[in-house]
Amino acid sequence: MSIVIQKARRLSTEQVSQYENDGYTLYNAPVFAPDEFARLKAIFEEDLARYGDEDLDRIHFRDKRLLPFLLSDAVLDLVEPLAGPNIGLWSSHFISKAPRTGKATPWHEDSAYWNGRISTMAGICTVWLAIDEATPENGSMAVIPGTHRNGFSQYAPVDTAENIFGSEIKPELIDESKAVYFSLKPNECSLHEARIIHGAKANTSGKRRAGYTMRYFPTSSKVFPEKNQGHHLWLARGRDLAGNVYMNG
């Protein structure tokens, strides 16, 4: 299966500048052609029914139908201005928060969970594609702009009955008055840097909030095999620059 795009999808100069300065940007336009997005959403619904909403991380390891989407120009053309021309596929994750019961995502940095697994966090980019409409009312993602300079804050434990993670950045380190909450229509996306502080409130609305996170890294970064047992990489675009090992298909 190949993903056909109707026109080049590139970020504007202003969007690239915002990403560099603030650690994120929004792409409020369709990423995939309508029929391709419908196909992706159908795959999501199948996987959600099969695995449940708590077992959808690294879903492309199990469902190879997702690889053409993850390796498509439709996505990589958005990532390249941010990560460079040599791009590896790091991971992907369907995230679904059910109406009224979807747990909160505590304030965190992705880099804190990946510490030691890759030589540098610089350049790692996550594309958060909206499967459903995402708004502050149903628990859309929020970021603290400009917090992507560090990536390793101090954490404290939280109750997993109410949160999808067991830890959060210590509250005294967060200025929630600076938080920016995203609004995305289905098939639109946000892009954020691995070190930025981000999170989401619980979904207390009557609408499900589902998205697909697609994560990429510049191949100049070395992924340490001994720290990533059972983890698979794909060369998405360009060439490898650090001696990483990739899947063939």
In the predicted structure, residue 102 carries a pLDDT above the cut 90: no
Q: What beta strand segments (E) does 55-113 contain?
A: 87-97, 105-108
In the predicted structure, residue 85 carries a pLDDT above the cut 50: yes
Across 232-248, average pLDDT: 97
Prediction pTM value: 0.94
Alpha-carbon distance of 228 to 131, in angstroms, equals 28
**pLDDT at residue number 6:** 46
The domains of the chain, with CATH numbers, are 13-237 (2.60.120.620)
**pLDDT at residue number 5:** 47
Residues 6 or more apart whose CB falls under 8 angstroms from that of 105 comprise: 139, 141, 163, 164, 165, 198, 199, 200
**pLDDT at residue number 8:** 55
**Could you tell me what percent of the chain has a pLDDT over 90?**
93
Is residue 113 within 8 A of residue 155, CB to CB? The reply is: no
Q: What digits encode the pLDDT tens for the residues 39-61? A: 999 999 999 999 999 899 999 99
In the predicted structure, residue 9 carries a pLDDT above the cut 80: no
Residue 78 to residues 75, 104, 189: CA-CA distances in angstroms?
5, 28, 10
Q: What digits encode the pLDDT tens for the residues 162-188? A: 999 899 999 999 999 999 999 999 999
R_g of the chain computed on alpha carbons: 17
Structure tokens at 48: 């959600």
